[in-house]
Structure 1
Amino acid sequence: MMKARRILLITSACLALLAPALGTAAESDADAYEQAVAQYHQGRWADAYGRFIALANGGDADAARTALFMYRYGPQLYNAHWDAMPVEVQRWERLAASSQGRGTPVFQPVAAR
C-alpha cells in the first residue's frame, strides 16, 4: 500500500511539473499547435517536441507527423535523442498516414530580380 502511494505521489509531481510546458486546459488545439510551431522556429526543439507529442497523443495528425519526423531525425538534425514509447510511435504513424490535418499553405513564389 505504501509503495502504491509513493508511485501515485511521484506521478502526480511529474504531471504537475509538466503542466506548464503543455499549456492550460483552456488553450485550444489550434493555439497549442501554433505554440509548438513557434517554439520550433525559435530553436527550442525539446520544448516543441514535447508540445507536438502531447498534441499527437491527443489525436492531432499534423502534430503526429512532426513528432515522428523529430523523433526519427533527432540525432542527425537536432543532435538530440528523444524518447517515445513504441505504442505512441505506432499511433503517430497511423495518424500521419491518415488524410486528417490542416491544409497546406499555398506556395507563393518570389520572382528573382
Structure 2
Amino acid sequence: MKAKRVLLITTACLALMAPALGMAAEADSYDEAVAQYQQGHWATAYGQFMALANAGDADAARTALFMLRYGPQLYNSHWDAIPAQVRRWEQLAMSTQGRSTPVFQPVASR
C-alpha cells in the first residue's frame, strides 16, 4: 500500500511539473496517454491525462475526471488531484472543445 501511495504522489508531482517544463498538449501526447490506458498502464495514463488537462486539453480533462472518480471501482486504484485542478478540469470538460469523435461503423450482422 505504501508503494502505491509513493507512486501516486510521484505521478501527481510529475503531472504538475509538466506544464512548467514546457510539455505542450500535443496530439502525440494525448495519443500516447490513450495507448498507455489501452495497455492497462492506468497510473501512467492518468499522470499523462493530468498533465494534458493542466495544460488545457478538454478531452484529457474529461478522461482524468473519469479516472479520478471511478478509480477505486474500475482500476482498483485511488488517484488524487488538488481541488483547484478538479474545478479547472470540470470547466474544461463542460466546454465544447475537443477532438472529433470517429463515426461509428456498425459491424454487419449475419
Q: Which has the higher contact order (CA 8 A, sep 6+)?
A: 2
The number of equivalent residue pairs is 95
Over 3 Å counting, the alpha-carbon distance change for 1:85 and 1:18 in structure 2 is closer
Note if contact 2:59-2:99 (Cα within 8 Å) is conserved in structure 1: yes
Tell me the equivalent position of 2:59. 62
CA RMSD across the alignment? 2.1
Percent of paired sites with the same residue? 69
Note if contact 2:25-2:52 (Cα within 8 Å) is conserved in structure 1: no
Q: What is the deviation of 1:25?
A: 5.2
> Rg bigger for which structure?
1
Superposed CA offset, 1:46-92 (max 9, x none): 00000000000000000000000000000000000001000000000
Superposed CA offset, 1:17-60 (max 9, x none): 949xx6x9577610000000000000000000000000000000
Over 3 Å counting, the alpha-carbon distance change for 1:100 and 1:28 in structure 2 is closer
Structure 2 length-normalised TM: 0.79
- Which consecutive unaligned segments of at least 5 residues does structure 1 have? 1-13
Over 3 Å counting, the alpha-carbon distance change for 1:85 and 1:27 in structure 2 is closer
Over 3 Å counting, the alpha-carbon distance change for 1:108 and 1:77 in structure 2 is same
1:81 and 2:103 are equivalent in the alignment: no
